[in-house]
Chain A
Amino acid sequence: MKAMTGSGTLHLTFPSSPLSVRRALQTVVTDLQGFDLEERGTVELVLAEALNNVAEHAYGAEDRGWISLDCTKERDGLHFRIRDEGRPMPDGVAPMGDPAPLPEALEAMPEGGFGWFLIRDLSRDVCYSRQGDVNELTFRMRIGGTEAGL
């Protein structure tokens, strides 16, 4: 693991268990001490959704594997790359994550499906590709005092 401060990049590799994901998130957030609390919270949320998707869907609870995470600080924000060797996305594309309309009936309230909505809403340039046996998801988060409009 390389600290992002100074070099501008952070690389982590960890198993696809919920507790390993949690530790990875804590490492990233600790590395972002220079950002304000809300920005760090937003990064943690988007990363949590993306990494939980890998753990729960690409691998699944019965099929653990490795997740690799790269974070690079650039002028237009933080760039993330997540790679795994789990199952590909259904139909080979990342979900659009449209917000579901709120139903009138309590029983129909959604308990899931918010993950991709949050990723799409809070990040930019989301790109998913399958390269051989590897899933790669990249996205950018416009934080850290970057100029508006970038």
Chain B
Amino acid sequence: MEFSINASDGATIITVQAARIDAAVAIRFKDLMQNATDGLDGRIILDLTQVDFIDSSGLGAIVASMKQLQPGQKLELASLNTNVDKVFRLTRMDTVFPIHNDIRTAVSSHAG
């Protein structure tokens, strides 16, 4: 699993370059997020375009990443595939994270 990180219009976009956020990579995901978000300020948009599967361990790792944010940082999600979106809805985590249909609308959104 790797991330690519881009700054765009006052937000930082972290693109997960992996098809799965599951039990096998949950700890690595959390570590990568800690490194990637360290020192950032403002909106952080997690781009899940490439992710087609997430399990409860992966979901837990995203929740943990939100909890380890520093003051002034805000985590949002974008571009959830059908099966990923379903896990967020079933667990009601879609009420905890701002979720955007795609990166373009996420970046232009000033709801944050």
Contact = CB atoms under 8 A, between A and B. Distances in A.
Interface string B55-88: 1110111011011000000000000001100110
A125 B83 CA distance: 23
Nearest to B25: A18
Contacts of A49: 55-56
A interface: dominant SS? helix
Contacts, number: 78
Given A41-B53, A112-B56, A118-B56, A19 B63 contact: no
A21 B23 contact: yes
B53 A44 contact: yes
A22 B24 contact: yes
Nearest to B57: A52
B67 A109 contact: yes
B interface: dominant SS? helix
Interface stretch (A1-9, A63-71, A84-92, A99-107): A99-107
5 contacts: A19-B24, A49-B55, A99-B92, A109-B63, A122-B90
Given A18-B22, A109-B63, A110-B60, 16 more contacts: A21-B23, A37-B83, A38-B86, A42-B86, A44-B83, A48-B22, A48-B23, A48-B53, A48-B55, A99-B91, A106-B66, A109-B66, A109-B96, A111-B60, A118-B56, A118-B90
Interface of B: 20, 22-24, 52-53, 55-57, 59-61, 63-64, 66-67, 82-83, 86-87, 90-92, 95-96
